[in-house]
Amino acid sequence: MPKDKRKVEQALLKKGFEEAEGDHHFFIYHTLQGKKSSIRTKTSHTPKMKELNDGILAQMAKQCRLNKQDFMNLIDCPLSREKYESCLTEKGEL
């Protein structure tokens, strides 16, 4: 199910990602302690792209080291920043 690009970007910012500009909108995860991590994802600058399709959302989930369902929970808020970071630590990603 497609998601509004702006809502996804805003949700990432609320969950500890910081935006960095380049040829895309890059989002880099910073830990609760403020440390920059290697976890990053991106969205396109393309003005026409207002929604992110399932394929793009699946890629973003993989980049965030989550399965698609957990990524959707991260975006839709059932998965808190603290729980996300705990999950990443358990997987050895942080």
Q: So what's the pLDDT on residue 2?
A: 87
Please state the domain count of the chain. 1
* Whole-number CA gyration radius for the chain: 12
Residue span of the structural domain in which 65 resides: 3-90
Q: So what's the pLDDT on residue 44?
A: 78
CA proximity to 11, closest of 60, 46, 44, 54: 60
Q: So what's the pLDDT on residue 58?
A: 95
Measured CA to CA, the distance from residue 1 to residue 45 in angstroms comes to 21
Count of C-beta atoms within a 10 Å radius of residue 51? 14
Q: So what's the pLDDT on residue 81?
A: 94
Report, as ranges of residue numbers, the positions in the chain whose pLDDT lies below 70. none
Q: So what's the pLDDT on residue 49?
A: 73
Three-state SS at 3: strand
Report the predicted TM-score, pTM, of the whole model to 2 decimal places: 0.88
Task: Specify the CATH number for the domain of residue 20.
Answer: 3.30.920.30
| Contact (Cβ atoms closer than 8 angstroms) between residue 2 and residue 52 | yes
Nearest 5°: CA angle at 7, between 31 and 19? Answer: 40
Q: What is the pLDDT of residues 13-34, one digit of tens each?
A: 999 999 987 777 899 999 999 9
